[in-house]
Amino acid sequence: MATIYEVSKLAGVSLATVSRVLNKNTPVREETRLKVLAAVEKLGYQPNSVAQSLASNRSNSIGIVVPELNGPFFGTLLSDIENRFRQAGKHVIIAAGHSDEKLEKDSIAFLQSRNCDALILHVEAVSDDYLVELMQKKVRFVLINRFVAPLYDRCITLNNQHGGYLATRHILEHGHRHIGYISGPMWKHDADQRYKGHIRALTEFGLEPSEQRFYEGDYHEKSGETGARILLENDPSITALVCANDEMAAGALTAARELGRELPADLSIMGFDNVNFSHYTHPKLTTVNYPVGGMGEMAAQLILKRVYDQKVDAIQTVFEPRVIERCSVGPAPDEA
């Protein structure tokens, strides 16, 4: 790898001049500019960004922490963030937090130690206090899918509670009155919120939430299958299952079919997230849209604006969910 020094020698100028033409921040005479460029070209010179970063305390890179690298949800999130930054000439460093407090903190520390100019965090295990401290330490970051009051202006969130409400209301409007609910892990903020929305819809229709009709899953397919089986066997009167995400809904689909239920004639199933496989299922899943893409891009915009002082379109921090009607929800069967 050629260094800036070799370029300066070959171009017959000082090393600072090379830096200047490359960074275009100080006027340079056209003639010498061309000499430098020629030398750069000839040597195939490429600035060492590690050195750049050390010297300038800027890295043009943004760190991202997500719980998992796989899964349809985070895939789209990462992809959209990367796209937005790429077209701004910034780069992205990704770390997986695995919903584990220690790993999340490690990931954040790692990204900081890499001199990231800013972070985008989708973290679940660290406390609100930890995040507030992070802010006080002047770390630049944006939170995705989590709201912490003192950080209100850097939280990109979905109105999860409203989403939970909409899902259940959609079911209620189809006439169902015996409704099972399969939640995510209740210690996760979004799972909690979605469930609160569910309760609100129930109450609005004069129904009582019941222990019997609640199952706490883990957002993975298997737990949807288990949950559906347990709920349906405990209470055969259930005509609809509201699931806190699509993975679990897919599991519920499987369980229901194995129990001989006709879908959606005997049983309606509702998902949440609208991940990209939700229309591969049979019947195609009715679900609540989670605008991941838009939210990822917005996080990127926020950083472009606040950290890099770029002019960007209007910033929006709260996103609204909406029901996506497909084929897994039907009218409630007549009572026998």
Partner DNA sequence: CTGTTAGCGCGTTCAT
Partner DNA sequence: ATGAACGCGCTAACAG
Interface residue list for DNA (CB under 7 A): 1, 3-5, 12-17, 19-20, 22-23, 25-29, 31-33, 45, 47-48, 51-52, 54-58
220 binds, among DNA, its own copies, none (CB under 5 to 8 A by kind): none
Q: Is 310 within 8 Å of 271 (Cβ atoms)? A: no
Residue 237 token pair: 């009167």
| Binding test (CB under 8 A) with its own copies, winner from 62, 95, 295, 299 | 95
Exposure letters 305-335 (e unless 16+ CB within 10 A, then b): ebbbeeebeeeebebebebbebebbbebeee
**Whose structure tokens read 């509201």?**
242
Nearer CB in complex with DNA: 40/166: 40
The CB-of-2 to DNA minimum distance in angstroms stands at 8
The CB-of-213 to its own copies minimum distance in angstroms stands at 25
The CB-of-78 to its own copies minimum distance in angstroms stands at 4
What does the alpha-carbon distance between residue 107 and residue 100 come to, in Å, rounded to a whole number? 10
For the segment 153-182, give every residue that binds its own copies (CB under 8 A). none
Exposure letters 66-93 (e unless 16+ CB within 10 A, then b): bbeeeebbbbbbbebbbebbeebebebb
Nearer CB in complex with DNA: 24/311: 24
What does the alpha-carbon distance between residue 229 and residue 113 come to, in Å, rounded to a whole number? 47
Residue 215 token pair: 């199952």
Does residue 50 belong to the site contacting its own copies (CB under 8 A)?
A: yes
Residues forming the site for its own copies (CB under 8 A): 1, 46-51, 53-54, 59, 68-72, 74-76, 78-79, 82-83, 86, 91-96, 103, 109-110, 112-115, 250, 276-277, 280-282
